[in-house]
Amino acid sequence: MSSLDAFAAAKLAEMEARNLRRWLVETDRREEVRATRNGRELISFCCNDYLNLSQNARVKKAAINAIETYGTGSGASRLVTGNHPLFGILEARLAKLKQAEDCVIFGSGYLANLGIVPALVGPGDLILVDELSHSCLLMGTKLSGAEAHIFRHNDLGHLTDLLAAHRGHARHCLILTDGVFSMDGDLAPVHEMAVLAKAHDAWLMTDDAHGIGVVGEGRGSSFVGGVKADVPLQMGTLSKAIGSYGGYLCASKPVVDLIRTRARTLIYSTGLPPASVAAAIAALDVIEENPDYAALPVKKAALFTRALNLPAPESPIVPLVIGEAEATMKASALLEAEGYLVTGIRPPTVPAGTARLRFTFTAEHKDEDILRLAGLVRDRILPKRAAE
Ligand code: PMP
């Protein structure tokens, strides 16, 4: 065995022993909420396609037309020859939706954060980041080389203390948080954070991957409550409620110009395929023409939480913390045997001891399926959880 293969095998064995080995399971999803796994048809409650737009006839047609017109790939970085005409259209649409001056699209949300954070701050600067922020914000932080401190989840007092302790000696300060937290479904207090950031001359950036299309009347977490929070850096993804693929940053014109010039994951990565961009434009058409549609996923989540006497959801994501990884995977298997796909989420994605079932709700889930699922959780999962 080569030293490379020996290393890979030993590392895998070590990860397996620590319950960290993962497998990719083939999932054939051809309809809105139905998926086939291991030969069985299941109703999926763990997909981020919150508005089911990846399966929408109009969105699919737009992607097909774009392929017919422009081909399947963009062929180069956007700075070379990959900047096909659809990019500018989508960027203008997103900027308008987010009430920002401008927008720049990246290859994915993950790439966006890896590119944006180091383009804005570096050594001599300060980053304050919520402890439950998505992996790509944390990796962007690491890549930047800025001094970084983690604040307790949604804890404005802790954030204030960190600003008081560290802001003074830093040139610039970036505050990073998810707008909607991907594993907990709660919202960041973006309005309060925006005020705090401004008072300390800090720049607030929200990762609204799970917000666009579903909260704040479809505009995202900055718009919850009806008044726009003053968030100068609104980042997000096109891969969830928008039903396509790609990431974006909405910001002022100088900031977007700087990102286009300086973000390495934009400059050195091939532009998105035209079909992905066209699909996102069509998805925004559907969302803007049907303002009530964006409210449906949270309404469906609320039907589930009401049936279980859980707190009202702030987003379409409802976590049910089980605790240990093994018990969580057993609960997931139990639901799968009953025809429901709800994946278990384990450390290191979530903190140790908080492994959970993560239910996500979409516009096209049927009420009777949601209520039957809630009944199964009430009768078969909650009693076991209480007993452990
Ligand atoms: N941020 C958050 C909060 C996410 O949940 C995700 C996707 N898991 C990303 C960023 C990455 O986005 P993308 O899938 O477009 O790379």
Q: Tokens 């994915």 — which residue?
A: 108
C-alpha span between 154 and 152 (Å, rounded)? 6
Instruction: Find tokens 């392929």 and name the residue.
Output: 67
Rounded distance between C-alpha atoms, residue 374 and residue 384, angstroms: 15
What is the pLDDT at residue 196? 98
pLDDT at 15: 96
Q: What is the distance in A from the centroid of ligand 1 to the CA of 245? A: 10
Of the residues 48, 54, 108, 136, which should be mutated to test ligand 1's pocket, given the most ligand atoms within 8 Å of the CB?
A: 136
Contacts for 333 with CB less than 8 Å, ≥ 6 apart:
none
CATH class as words, domain 55-289? alpha beta
- Confirm or reject CATH 3.90.1150.10 for domain 21-50+316-387, answering yes or no: yes
Q: Where in the chain is the domain with CATH 3.90.1150.10?
A: 21-50+316-387
| Domain boundaries for CATH 3.40.640.10 within the chain | 55-289
pTM: 0.96
Amino acid 72 reads: T
Is 130 near ligand 1, meaning CB less than 6 Å away?
A: no
3-state secondary structure of 36: strand
pLDDT digits (tens, 9 = 90+) for 17-75: 998 999 999 999 888 899 999 899 999 999 999 999 999 999 999 999 999 999 999 99
How far away, in angstroms, is 140 Cα from ligand 1 center? 13
Q: How far from 84 is each of 39, 72, 268, CA to CA, in Å?
A: 40, 12, 16
The dihedrals phi and psi of 29, each to the nearest 5 degrees, come to -115, 110
Question: Which of the listed residues 205, 206, 237, 345 should we mutate to test ligand 1's pocket, taking the one with most ligand atoms within 8 A of CB?
Answer: 237
| Catalytic status, residue 182 | yes
Does residue 108 line the site of ligand 1, with CB under 6 A?
A: yes
Say if ligand 1 is within 6 A of residue 239 CB.
yes
Q: Which residue's structure tokens are 């516009």?
A: 363
The candidate with the shortest Cα–Cα distance to 362, out of 40, 30, 26, 54, is 54
Angle between helix axes 367-376 and 296-307 (nearest 10 degrees) is: 30
Q: Do residues 52 and 29 make contact, with C-beta atoms less than 8 angstroms apart?
A: no
- The set of residues, in sequence order, having a beta carbon less than 8 Å from that of 324 and lying 6+ positions away, is 353, 355, 388
The yes-or-no answer on residue 240 being catalytic is yes
* ipTM of this predicted structure: 0.99
Q: Which residue in 240, 269, 276, 332 is the catalytic one? A: 240
Catalytic residue of the set 98, 210, 228, 300:
210
Among 182, 238, 343, say which to mutate for ligand 1: greatest number of ligand atoms within 8 Å of CB: 182
Task: Give the pLDDT confidence of 276-306 residue by residue, as tens digits.
Answer: 999 999 999 999 999 899 999 999 999 999 9
Q: What percent of the chain has pLDDT over 70?
A: 99
Weakly modelled stretches of the chain, pLDDT under 70:
386, 388
